[in-house]
Structure 1
Amino acid sequence: MVAAVARNGVIGNGPDIPWRVPGEQRAFKELTMGHTLVMGRTTYESIGRPLPGRTTIVLTRDPAWSAGPSGEGVLVAHDLDAALALAATLPGDVMVVGGAQVYAAALPLATEQVLSEIPLEPEGDVLYPAYDAAAWLESSRDVFDGYERVRLVRAADRL
């Protein structure tokens, strides 16, 4: 799972990210390039297009939804199990990239979280799911101007 999370747990305000941190989105691009991204429909629609150099699987309950003409190559799944099964057949790692409902559904299955910790407390109505910190071990932390990127691995996976 990959997310940028404010100190108060906010990851969005409606379809928008309530901050601009120079370099953080570039780091997201570098981290996810060449991999398969699983995201919810609202997240996809807020981006407005597939991200170049990555395979995109959009999770939606709407059986008639399609990415439209700008979404050539976007794959669609109607539940998390189907999205993960499809992603397992594709190149690269599987990276869940939002939104809140998808993060919450995927968290019990996740073995790793890569979180950009944003030292702000913006208003927002989209939150990253709470998780038991004791179940995760910090494997690395990189400090950048305006954020820290922390990599967490599930404690049982580290043994």
Structure 2
Amino acid sequence: MPDIISKDGSVKADSWVVVPRPAEGEALELSGAPSLIPMDLWLAGRDQFKGRSDIGVWLESHDEPEALEGLVNELPLIAVNFPKFSDGRGYSIGRLLRERFGFTNELRAIGDVLLDQLQFMKRCGFDSYALREDKDSSKAAACLSFFSNSYQAATDTNVPLFRRRTS
């Protein structure tokens, strides 16, 4: 099992399986382990998956999180795929899920996730991170707290630094 890093920097084995999108004409196959399935397939079979704590969804960076509006907290886990480290759309998806849609469960970054991105992902509301396979998860704790203060408001603090300094 691959490792998952939580936002406090601890490393644990990942029990969730990311189920790839089936080829055209093929059915979705679940392994029996807790599974992350493509968002559109979960929406299409929502009645079938309702109430299951072992089914979450994953979104591609081009997916519209608005499709989950009003439904997000039916899911125990939502993962956002970062197809390459330079694609920043996943950060916006994370903030939308937390701030606009009120998602309170686990939000995970998957895909091309690098150590130097972790603190920024945390500020956008991500709780857990599946690092790219060639990265050392033992360095994650230091990367999650690299900066002691941030200037902007985000999901981790809604007060910008200049307001925190005056109060």
**TM-score scaled by length of structure 2:** 0.32
Which has a greater percent of strand?
1
**TM-score scaled by length of structure 1:** 0.33
